[in-house]
Chains A and B, each alone.
Chain A
Amino acid sequence: MTKQSSTRKSEKTGLTLKLRGYNTGKNIIDDVDGAVELLTDAGHCAAAWSFRELMIGWNKKHAHAAYVPYASEKVAAPAYQYFSPALLGEGTDLNRYLAALSAGLVIFDPGSKVMNASTAKSSVKARSQFRMAVKQLPALYEKFGPVAY
């Protein structure tokens, strides 16, 4: 661990989340070949998301986002009720995301599952998510605020 990299260990999984190549002092990527990594205590990489791949996905999927408050009922048939205002977020980049991850505003929610582990047909289903509280969302966008509809 360097002074500039960010690490956080999960008590539940025993894995440490590290932003390799991200300078937390300056809040910049100083190694484009870096990655968000999950490391064992021995330093082995259990999972990694490269900055390059994250950058493509992040910029394309989150450049314009709408967050709509709702309430749901699941008594007979499911029913949803939506409320105004929605929150609109515009303009983002991977640096904002990594800064939020480094600050602990974004939480890693692991979701991998090994199927048929004891057989020759074993497979891993990977569907981990990164989550954050609604109140922290402004950190991800250049422009963020309510819009009545």
Chain B
Amino acid sequence: MGKQNNSVEKFELIKATSFHEDVFYEYFHPFRHPAARFNIWGGHGLETFGEDLLIVREYAQEYVWTVVDCDNDQWIIPEFHHINRICYLLTEVPHNGAPVEFRISRSTLTPLGLKRRIATLRKVLNQSGKTP
């Protein structure tokens, strides 16, 4: 896309710690809502419209995550977002607004690698005071 020079505003964000998606599944336990109408994201996801969206909006927000597409990568990030959204996820364990993000990867962590990253996640959650 041809870019013009009239930049609107520069946003600096709090740095989130990035993890492999395997850590997300292992620690936060996403689940399919019984009233979900579609099979997006392997059946775990809730769509961005209709009754699925109502479920997301009415659910306790500390259990809501957004799957987004960014720079040709996909990420799972805490809370409800509009921009670049693909779908929403609900988890059994709350995120409590922790500064974490999970990159979707075609690789799989080894059991040891997963254990280490879970330990790092616990540390990040403790430091940010967001431990569930």
List residues 47-67 of chain A with CB under 8 A from any CB of chain B: 53, 56-57, 60-61, 67
> Is there a chain B Cβ closer than 8 Å to A69's Cβ?
yes
Question: In the assembled complex, which residues on chain B have CB atoms less than 8 Å from the CB atom of A131?
Answer: 72
Q: Are A82 and B13 in contact (CB under 8 A)?
A: no
Shortest distance between the CB of B101 and any CB in chain A (Å): 10
**CA–CA, A111 and B50, complex, Å:** 25
> Is there a chain A Cβ closer than 8 Å to B14's Cβ?
yes
Q: Are B1 and A134 in contact (CB under 8 A)?
A: yes
Among B3, B14, B25, chain A packs the most CB atoms within 10 A around the CB of B3
Q: How many residues belonging to B are interface residues under a CB distance threshold of 8 Å? A: 36
> Is there a chain A Cβ closer than 8 Å to B79's Cβ?
no
Q: Are B42 and A126 in contact (CB under 8 A)?
A: yes
Q: Are B48 and A61 in contact (CB under 8 A)?
A: yes
Q: Are B15 and A76 in contact (CB under 8 A)?
A: yes
Q: Are B10 and A57 in contact (CB under 8 A)?
A: no
Shortest distance between the CB of B67 and any CB in chain A (Å): 8
Residue of B nearest to A70 (CB): B3
Known: A72-B71, A129-B74. A81 touches B7 (CB 8 A): yes
Known: A76-B15, A78-B15, A111-B106. A57 touches B38 (CB 8 A): yes
B residues near A (Cβ < 8 Å) are 1, 3-15, 21-22, 25, 38-42, 47-50, 67, 69, 71-72, 74, 86, 104-106, 108
25 sampled A-B residue pairs with Cβ under 8 A: A60-B48, A61-B47, A61-B48, A69-B3, A76-B15, A77-B15, A78-B13, A78-B15, A79-B12, A79-B13, A80-B10, A81-B8, A81-B11, A83-B3, A83-B7, A84-B4, A84-B8, A111-B74, A125-B21, A126-B41, A127-B67, A129-B69, A129-B86, A134-B1, A148-B6
